[in-house]
Copies of this chain bind each other. A is one copy, B any other.
């Protein structure tokens, strides 16, 4: 077991977010006509992306993608991280790569030269701050096993994978390859379940993964209930206990629970003015994993996750607007 070069390497769909305000009526109409489910992520194809974009309000573009957001937050705490995710060799891809680099995250995945454009996620933010995501994967579907740099993954303390990768066969293979390399190197594998509908699509696979291959699991209330097809969060939390080393389960404004084989650690939520919940789960994972890689106790890991999630929901956009490292300093001083 070699000394890790990176604290964290994350693998995910590299997407540029297009955030726009939308009314409840607009989302309801889109649900009726196209099955867009409020608060969740739907996969859409390019013609539908063009159609939805044309119907949307003016937007703001920023780099996103679940695992990419987590890496940005992780680096904002001061963690040393790398990201594997595929953009195209186009303007939005350039923006994505710039932002990763600027955030201090290594991102060496070769951009797609020919074919699909950089993927994007059309995000509708309703007046209640909820976000409804519509993902056109674009170039990110071309992420495959060849994009997994074995040395990079083997050199990381934790390899973090997003459940969304399971939506594409090639990405799923990349996912499995990375998990294998990490474990062979004696390091940890972490997974986020991503979305309740994503869990629906891959329930058996995910349940097996959690039991056999995952050390640190992230899920929100809906996702963990969906995974075990139970009605209450408490039932789900009991089932997952001991299935993996750690499960960090978030319950939005009710806080989070960290579950191990023998502990249920409750972490209270912080008060927040919710503007846009995009990135909340991603930043919780960033804070938790930063604490974990710094060998903090689980309660502190949860507190850092909460700190990061609370910051990101107070503004539009899925990534920190301030340095999380400064937030820690402030919290220490207070």
Contacts and interface: CB of A to CB of B under 8 A. Distances in A.
Interface stretch (A40-48, A54-62, A256-264): A54-62
A20 B117 CA distance: 24
Contact of A59 (B20, B57, B99, B117): B99
A333 to B, nearest CB: 18
A92 B92 CA distance: 8
Interface size class of A (residues with CB under 8 A): 20 to 34
Nearest to A95: B61
Contact of A91 (B90, B101, B102, B317): B90
Nearest to A99: B58
Contacts of A98: 53-54, 56, 58-59
A329 to B, nearest CB: 15
A103 interface: yes
A319 interface: yes
Nearest to A120: B91
DSSP class of A's interface residues: helix, strand, loop or mixed?
mixed
A54 B94 CA distance: 11
A210 interface: no
A13 interface: no
Interface string A294-334: 00000000000000000000011101010000000000000
Contacts of A95: 59, 61
A63 interface: yes
Contacts of A62: 59-61
A72 interface: yes
Q: What 6 A-B pairs have minimum CB-CB distances, sorted nearest first? A: A58-B99, A61-B61, A58-B102, A91-B91, A60-B62, A58-B103
